[in-house]
Homo-oligomer: A and B are copies of this chain.
Amino acid sequence: MSLSMYSAFIPVAIHTLNNLAAILAKGAAHCEARKIDPNAFLTARIYPDMFPLIRQVQIASDTVKGGAARLAGIDMPKYEDNETTFAELQARLDKTVAFLKTIQPAQIDGKEDADIVLSFPSRTFEFKGQAYLTGWVLPNLYFHTTTAYNLLRHGGVEIGKADFLGGA
A interface, CB within 8 angstroms of B: 1-5, 7-8, 12, 15-16, 46-47, 50, 110, 112-113, 125, 127, 130, 133-136, 138-140, 142-143, 146-147, 149-150, 153-154, 156, 161, 164-166, 168
* Residue ID in chain B nearest A156 by CB atoms: B47
Could you list 27 A-B pairs, sorted by A, with CB under 8 Å?
A1-B112, A1-B113, A2-B2, A2-B4, A3-B4, A3-B5, A3-B8, A3-B130, A3-B134, A8-B8, A16-B139, A46-B153, A46-B154, A47-B154, A47-B156, A50-B153, A127-B168, A135-B166, A136-B165, A136-B168, A139-B142, A139-B165, A142-B143, A143-B146, A143-B164, A146-B150, A147-B150
